[in-house]
Structure 1
Amino acid sequence: MTQQEVRWTADQVLALAPDSASRTAGSELGTAGRWSGAGRSDEGTVWGLCEGGGSTPYRTVVDVADASGPAYHCSCPGRESPCEHALGLLLLWSGGDGAVPRGEAPEWAGRWIAGRRARTGRTPAADAPGPGGPQAARRRAERRAERVTAGAVELERRLADLLRGGLAAAEQSGHGRWEETAARMVDAQAPGLAARVRELGAFAGTGPGGPVRLLEECALLHLLCRGWLRRERLPEGLAATVRSRVGLTASPDGPAIRDHWLVLAQYDTADSRLTTRRAWLYGTGSGRTALLLSYGAAGRAPELTLPVGLALDAELTAYPGAGRPRAALGERFAPAAPTDVRPPGTTTSRAAARYGEALRDDPWLESVPVTLDRVVPAPDGDGWQLADADEDAALPLTPAARSRPGLWRLVALSGGAPVRVFGECGHQGFTPLAAWPEGPGEAVPLC
């Protein structure tokens, strides 16, 4: 595999941004409609012409193969490095959808890259698996860890100030305070901390239960900051979970597991920066449940699409982290095919207990994957619940699940009879994602 064929993820690209404004602007430029003449070479060069404010497009070229780290050149007047055009070009390239085809570099791009390599005396690092070589990656990781530490210390101070001032005052300050704090965490390259800070703003002013939820989430955020600051003292599994929760990317490091993986569910969530696709798989031989994540920049749909209800003969490799189900999809050995296998089910009370047990390994866990057996969807006052057909217990559906069309597909599939339901069980309740009838029948997607 050539250096150019080892593509970066959108997270790796956006981590290079010098500030949040460049990150946002670069995300908006990561679409094919803004570029012309884009291309790449086997030697590790990416180039393209980006439309600008005038009649002449900006010439952008990035050398991704230098062992000292990526280098950028753009004809725009911006002073940031990398500029928004370089970030947008790298996001376009990382998408891997053919928008940046292999070809011969234009004269202006070839002149710059030849001159740079002549000045530095460096050649492409063919064995480098990411942005630059191993030493450059290690230096970037150390610099990022320092920035995340500074952000965690600052966030600790802000949480202390929040509690000293009282939660009532926090509710009156509006969302601006939380957005400003979240932006500071983005600048510290800790997107996980930024996301949790934004959630604090959603709890403020939400009624009688708002202060309680706000205090609970502040405590979890404080715990995450302390976990990061003392990560060297944690067991490796928990330390890996903390690194993931603050937003540091990791590579899959577990042994590859070949199995027939039943695709249980697939759904997308989106924000202003990324579209995240989640796919849940169940190993029909290993009995393992795994989560695949894929990303699309700036509203672009992720490439990975898996057929719900079919099984893949493929290898999966787990990511580090105590009790975390995330994995990477490896080699596929055959096309997806139908299967009669269903994941084994459990009771609603056991599902709730399973979530409680998982919190010991990951206190910030929102939910766990669970398959419920012989449950009946039933109204419960203003909401809905899944009631056990064989015991006096039930799980409430989450507010998000109650507003989805999938709820009515589940009700129609059940018709008052027990069904088997796969979904996510957490502190807000159960979110159904797929279901099977009591007798023979295919999986019905609910998301």
Structure 2
Amino acid sequence: MNPQGERWTTDQVLALAPDEASRKAGGKLAAPGPWSETGADEGAVWGQCKGSGKKPYQTVVDIKGPAFKCSCPSRKFPCKHALGLLLLWAGGGGEVTAGEPSAWAGEWLAGRRERAERQAGAPSGAAAPPRAPADPEAAKRRAERRMQRIGAGATELEQRLEDLLQSGLASAESGAGSWDETAARMVDAQAPGLASRVRELSSVVASGPDWPARLLEECALLHLLDQGFLGIERLPGPLAATVRSRVGLTTEAADLLTGPDAATVRDRWLVLAQQDSDDGKLLTRRIFLRGERTGRMALHLSFGGSPGRPLDLALPPGLVLDADLAYYPGARPLRATLGERHAPAAPGPVPPGGGIDAALAAYGDALRDDPWLDSWPVVLTDVTPIPSHDGKGWQLADADGESALPLDPRGLGRTSLWQLAAISGGAPVTVFGECGHRGFLPLTVWDPAPVSL
């Protein structure tokens, strides 16, 4: 067995970077000059990086997580030192040698193992059982009160939509402040999902020549969600679960893994993409996976970004993970939480996929079950990026040239667009992304190794 574990590729390391600036800064540290006391074993890489101060930064990466620890003050996860260390290790030039962890690195790694064992509660690595509430009846009463608050919020929102339609959509242009007030009222009603959709309505107003039509469509979807919640007891179980999640009611991950209705899916999950977004207050990480045996798509969400709440889970595209996943309930389950891992992550194959017609059919099937769905993850094979016929955008064309899918102009930056075109070079490629009503948003392209866009 390789004493340093399975080395990652440079692209897999760079896929972990939270932004382009971190990629560039990490690349500058991917040389032996600033590093000392570097080493690696089957599960970790460590080293000390010389910084601006007298004391070097101590950096260690648990590659089985992966998880990161650095003594630098950066809020980014992973920081540039962790990226530089991983790039140096991935280069395989002999600068990072096999050995035993330094004392400071070993202490952190041992602490991670101890916490994992405590959480598991058993050597098998099963997730810890959820804590029982101190007073089940009190918890039930709190849940009932929240349902009542959300119901009141949905009723108030219905009245707001009715007033808008009676006064005419044109009146929305002069009522920007009222949208903010309505969103705040939904927050007070403990319905963050409704508040988010109200904010989306305000962003549609006067946003282009066809904004009244788009506003009407969004109002109709919001009305459908309101009515779904107000009549939730009459809905089928999976659809009711979807409505609950859309208004902002969540399920605890621990309940999914160990609760009375727990059901996990074991598979070899190929990591298709990792995407970070930052709204200034919260960092959100989305990791898309696809089951090798089941063919099921999954989305793992994590939140954090503050020094006290780092984003611990990071999985670069191209890895395959033998693990259990538990899906959140819904009419078309996609979001999942990670359970027991049965083996360390290892490089995986290029994912199988389909053509554009199959992608549109997959999105249509998902939309039938969840009408509030913006997009659905798909893998496209043998597609070529080409300019649109009107010259105003780009699209992906099937190999036979009979079908084409426009690229989402709002989600793909100019740099990523030209990166996709350069990787293709006019030849068909395999691309993973999200197919939705705005078009296709590419996230990863294989060349043949995965490259994040």
Give the TM-score normalised by structure 2.
0.67
Cα deviation 1:250-282 (Å, max 9, x = unaligned): 143552122211111011223354322110011
Tell me how far 1:170 sits from its aligned partner.
Answer: 0.8
Q: Counterpart in 1 of 2:343?
A: 334
Match of 2:450 among 424, 443, 446: 443
Alpha-carbon offset, residue 420 of structure 1: 0.8
Amino acid at match of 1:219: A
Partner of 1:412: 422
Q: 1:144-176: per-residue Cα shift (whole Å, max 9, x none)?
A: 1111001000000000011111110111223x2
2:358 matched to which residue of 1? 350
* CA–CA distance in structure 2, aligned partners of residues 351 and 343 of structure 1: 14
Contact between 1:277 and 1:295, CA under 8 Å: does it hold in 2?
A: yes
Q: Give the match's secondary structure for 2:353.
A: coil
Could you say which residue in structure 2 is the equivalent of 1:166? Answer: 168
Task: Give the match's secondary structure for 2:396.
Answer: strand
Letter in 1 for 2:378: V
- Confirm or deny that 1:385 pairs with 2:387: no
- Superposed, 1:281-430 pairs within 5 Å as 281-296=289-304, 301-340=310-349, 342-380=350-388, 381-403=391-413, 405-430=415-440
Shift, 1:240, TM fit: 0.3
Note the 1:173-322 alignment, pairs <5 A. 173-174=175-176, 176-251=177-252, 252=256, 253-296=261-304, 301-322=310-331
- How far 1:133 moved relative to its partner? 4.3
Identity level (%) = 61
Compute the displacement of 1:404 (Å): 5.1
CA distance in 1, matches of 2:172, 2:382: 45
Distance 1:135 1:280 in 2: 38
**Aligned with 2:368: secondary structure?**
coil
Q: Any idea what the Cα deviations from partners look like across 1:413-446, whole Å, max 9, x if unmatched?
A: 1000000111000000000011123xxx211112
Deviation, 1:206, is 1.4
Contact kept? 2:412, 2:442, Cα under 8 Å: no
| Distance in 1 separating the partners of 2:421 and 2:300 | 28
Amino acid at match of 1:287: G
Mapped contact 1:200–1:217 kept (Cα < 8 A): yes
For 1:291 and 1:247, the matched residues in 2 are separated by 17
Q: Secondary structure at the match of 2:411?
A: helix
1:197 and 1:213 map into 2 onto residues whose CA distance is 14
What is the one-letter code of the residue matched to 2:361? A
Q: What do residues 51-73 of structure 1 show as CA deviations (whole Å, max 9, x unaligned)?
A: xxxxxxxxxxxxxxxxxxxxxxx
Q: Distance in 2 between matches of 1:272 and 1:159?
A: 30
1:359 is displaced (CA, Å) by 1.3
In structure 2, the gaps of 5 or more residues are: 1-110, 116-127
Alpha-carbon distance between aligned partners in 2 of 1:204 and 1:398, rounded to the nearest angstrom: 20
Question: Quick check: 1:366–1:427 contact (8 Å CA) kept in 2?
Answer: yes
- Bigger shift: residues 294-303 or 418-427: 294-303
Measured on the aligned residues, the alpha-carbon RMSD in Å equals 2.2
* Cα displacement (A) at 1:345: 1.3
- Structure 2 SS opposite 1:405: helix
Identify the structure with bigger relative contact order (alpha carbons < 8 Å, sequence gap 6+): 2
Shift in Å, 1:132: 4.2
Shift in Å, 1:298: 6.3
Q: Is it true that 1:155 corresponds to 2:164 in the alignment?
A: no
Query: Structure 1 residues 297 and 343, CA, compared in 2 at 3 Å: closer, same or farther?
Result: same
